[in-house]
Structure 1
């Protein structure tokens, strides 16, 4: 299952085709999206948390640490209702199939800190369990977003049921086994958004959403692509805009803006959909589909919840340390402005390809073109989006530090190195591809490093 999912996930990344006509028959019935019943917040907290509430000693899967210090709270809710089922071609195959799933909400505890936007993530299940692949706590809490993870797919829900029968044993998104290929996932996801939009069951506590963004990474982006291209034309929209990350993106020209962010790993052809008034595509040089940042964040949580985090034997040292999440944070900011004020996001240069069809690289082996953060523009290591080896190694990219001799030759003085980092990221900020706060983080890392001190 894991290997085949990785293959599917890679196969949906970056190839572009000609824009099709509208996916649905114009005469097709456009149904409204039902609001599910909501119960919760569900009691229970991670071991060591002083909260007294409990559900047989359980807590939310991959519960996020450190939220209180950021002024955030995490709550979990059950959603129940009747969802329509759709084929991958967007054909409705059943009406009103009962389901029960869960959502995880991480939001500012103080309404004054809420920026009005809810990032609604379709949880990724490529590893066999729900993964909040786009949860980046520093950037999300700094900006004041609410983040909501939706368990829409059978694989994730089945793992939850086995992991904690007391907490999740009653969940089902298959219609009691009738629909095991995630035919219900599209409407389940949309119904979760409808509950957020309406404030059903106080899922956002005292907060009221102004802007609702649907986001998904990798395999989840592929599912969202089917939803946008094939299912959405048959129903009423519930999201204001969409972020498709390290995966496919819609080809249909719809009414809601689409932001498409790809790592170097995901760009495998020079054929691309052109930017237009409803679509924007960014490609990040040196970044990996699943780089160091996400791996480091999830390792202790997977160790806590599974007993051990997975390990991999890759052909080259993983993981790229180019902070793709910094670019994603900038994309969210632009997507908000696009939705709320009609301001088109800035464009970005594409990655370059050599005449033989491979990615063009400089003398250091770094990809040419694309968005170039300081980790690529002022490199201290070879970061790429490529790797090989077992299972998911193809997604991790590489990170090979330069030798001391190389660094001394490239950066004779520490002050000169830090100044170059500052200049590279200042350019990225001016171009709209990086937020100032993340540029400051990069500069602090450069100043505290030993580069140029020998």
Structure 2
């Protein structure tokens, strides 16, 4: 029998994730425009594009810390301005996601696009990924750029981050008071009328890329496929966008929903209206464009109520051994965040002596999902489905969850990877980073055989696996990794380039030596 304390610690991440998604989903409540009976527009308006002044920092907020030039990329920033529309429900909204809207109001706005694109047009693959920048930490972040950076840069995508939400522009409770507070000289003219208008601001960002009114953010690159993308709280908005706004705006060719929950963001943009949204909020299956939903192990408990069968327009992945945020995304993104935010950068706030972040295969899954969605949106085959993940059931020998898409880190494991973690004494965001536990004879301070021990979160105590027994020879270990990678590639869940990298890492590892 598990004690209540241990169960509470084990599943603290579920509570934390729910709190983060609800409390930071929308930021401050915006003033709402009066509702009218006017029908929604059939397409997005085209905003005016301008180039921002240099400002006091001389670079955009969230400017990449990495040397983009070494990848053949350039980075630039543009302002978009115009009149945005807010929406309200039209008719009854149900869990099937077939949501109709009508215009609720209009307001002037001025926001921004952060653009990374190939310098050489010959390198551009024709696909632009437009990410709804995440504001859970009260500043703008680009988690999906960090998760999928390898695929983006090696295959010649263009990436555009959109300042869609008011917190990112105007500021919230954080130390950095939005773009306007960070650099008034650069961003002081920006105007965000509230998150009721965020959906149309995002639509107009895509329209500006297709038919620029002013300087071309893509420098003359010709768009073949335009993809909308959002992770975490942005995925809650992306769910509502797919169900209610994409059908009337018609801007994007495909949508990526990464780490959403079972309830979508309110169309009003007011966090107080979250309980007025259908529960569960599934993705509508009658869209003219495809939608790809990717869930990590952290997300599944809060999102499983919205599970639905895959169709020719909606595919779901639930990826074992992954976390909502992880070591990979943290390591890739933190230099960029520190460059802009310095000491005000949001921190996971995990307790000292607790397990390190999950360093599992989340980025490999996102690489494969991105390429799959791009091909699908261009008329190619629908990406492969995947098994459902059971986070309630774990292999007692390894601590790994059962089911789901299982990439080589999970099928040939050398450590416990989980999307859950003990958040006792930790900050609000710690639970989103999951945990890893090296198999080293229970030598770590968190190896307590309780809710804080990723390998063995409940009694009776069990020893961690012994790597030498699992993999008596190095050659045997590498052979098993190679076979697992090939299986994942054949299943459509792993890209060949990433399979090669995984096998190479196994060859360089000390396992079995």
Give the TM-score band, short-chain normalised: 0.7 to 0.9
Give 1:190-229 correspondences, 5 Å limit. 190-200=203-213, 201-229=215-243
Q: Partner residue of 1:127?
A: 137
Offset at 1:6? 5.0
* Structure 1 residue corresponding to 2:408, chosen from 374, 393, 409: 374
Offset at 1:60? 1.1
* Structure 2 residue corresponding to 1:433, chosen from 479, 486, 493: 493
Offset at 1:29? 4.5
Q: Is the 8 A contact 1:8 1:219 kept in 2?
A: no
Deviates more, 1:150-159 or 1:247-256: 247-256
Q: Partner residue of 1:332?
A: 370
* Structure 1 residue corresponding to 2:477, chosen from 414, 417, 429: 417
Question: What is the rounded CA distance, in whole Å, between the counterparts of 1:6 and 1:60 in structure 2?
Answer: 30
Task: Tell me if 1:293 matches 2:322.
Answer: no
2:429 is paired with a residue whose SS is helix
Q: Partner residue of 2:186?
A: 167
Q: Partner residue of 2:159?
A: 147
Q: Partner residue of 1:344?
A: 382
Q: Partner residue of 2:316?
A: 281
Question: What is the rounded CA distance, in whole Å, between the counterparts of 2:160 and 2:256 in structure 1?
Answer: 14
Task: Tell me if 1:259 matches 2:292.
Answer: yes
Q: CA RMSD in A?
A: 2.4
Question: What is the rounded CA distance, in whole Å, between the counterparts of 1:370 and 1:311 in structure 2?
Answer: 26
Offset at 1:371? 1.1
Q: Is the 8 A contact 2:49 2:212 kept in 1?
A: no
1:418 is paired with a residue whose SS is helix
After TM superposition, the score normalised by the length of structure 1 is 0.86
Q: Partner residue of 1:238?
A: 251
Offset at 1:297? 1.5
Question: What is the rounded CA distance, in whole Å, between the counterparts of 1:98 and 1:6 in structure 2?
Answer: 34
Question: What is the rounded CA distance, in whole Å, between the counterparts of 1:8 and 1:79 in structure 2?
Answer: 32
Q: Is the 8 A contact 2:350 2:430 kept in 1?
A: yes
Q: Partner residue of 2:439?
A: 402
Question: What is the rounded CA distance, in whole Å, between the counterparts of 2:415 and 2:22 in structure 1?
Answer: 28
Q: Tell me the alpha carbon deviations over residues 178-205 of structure 1, each in whole angstroms, 9 at most, x when there is no partner.
A: xx3x001000000000011124421100
Q: Is the 8 A contact 2:489 2:499 kept in 1?
A: yes
Q: Tell me the alpha carbon deviations over residues 245-290 of structure 1, each in whole angstroms, 9 at most, x when there is no partner.
A: 0114753222211101111111117552111111000110010000
Q: Partner residue of 1:82?
A: 83
Question: What is the rounded CA distance, in whole Å, between the counterparts of 1:163 and 1:88 in structure 2?
Answer: 35
Task: Tell me if 1:101 matches 2:94.
Answer: no
Classify 1:193/1:344 alpha carbon distance in 2 versus 1 (closer, same or farther; 3 Å): same
1:100 is paired with a residue whose SS is strand
Offset at 1:33? 0.8
1:391 is paired with a residue whose SS is coil
For structure 1, which runs of at least 5 residues remain unmatched after alignment? Answer: 13-26, 44-53, 175-179
Q: Tell me the alpha carbon deviations over residues 340-379 of structure 1, each in whole angstroms, 9 at most, x when there is no partner.
A: 12421111111136xxxx2443521101111111111111
Question: What is the rounded CA distance, in whole Å, between the counterparts of 2:126 and 2:114 in structure 1?
Answer: 18
Offset at 1:209? 0.6
Question: What is the rounded CA distance, in whole Å, between the counterparts of 1:255 and 1:448 in structure 2?
Answer: 46
Question: What is the rounded CA distance, in whole Å, between the counterparts of 1:232 and 1:170 in structure 2?
Answer: 29
Q: Tell me the alpha carbon deviations over residues 305-351 of structure 1, each in whole angstroms, 9 at most, x when there is no partner.
A: 22234251248413111121211111122212222124211111111
Offset at 1:169? 1.5
Q: How many residues align?
A: 415
2:479 is paired with a residue whose SS is helix
1:63 is paired with a residue whose SS is coil
Q: Is the 8 A contact 1:88 1:226 kept in 2?
A: no
Q: Partner residue of 1:114?
A: 124
Q: Tell me the alpha carbon deviations over residues 61-90 of structure 1, each in whole angstroms, 9 at most, x when there is no partner.
A: 121121100000001001111001124784
Q: Is the 8 A contact 2:321 2:401 kept in 1?
A: yes
Classify 1:316/1:92 alpha carbon distance in 2 versus 1 (closer, same or farther; 3 Å): farther
Task: Tell me if 1:31 matches 2:36.
Answer: no
Question: What is the rounded CA distance, in whole Å, between the counterparts of 2:139 and 2:378 in structure 1?
Answer: 34
Question: What is the rounded CA distance, in whole Å, between the counterparts of 1:62 and 1:425 in structure 2?
Answer: 34
Classify 1:236/1:302 alpha carbon distance in 2 versus 1 (closer, same or farther; 3 Å): closer
Task: Tell me if 1:391 matches 2:428.
Answer: yes
Q: Partner residue of 1:451?
A: 511
Q: Partner residue of 1:71?
A: 72
Question: What is the rounded CA distance, in whole Å, between the counterparts of 1:196 and 1:105 in structure 2?
Answer: 10
Q: Partner residue of 2:60?
A: 60
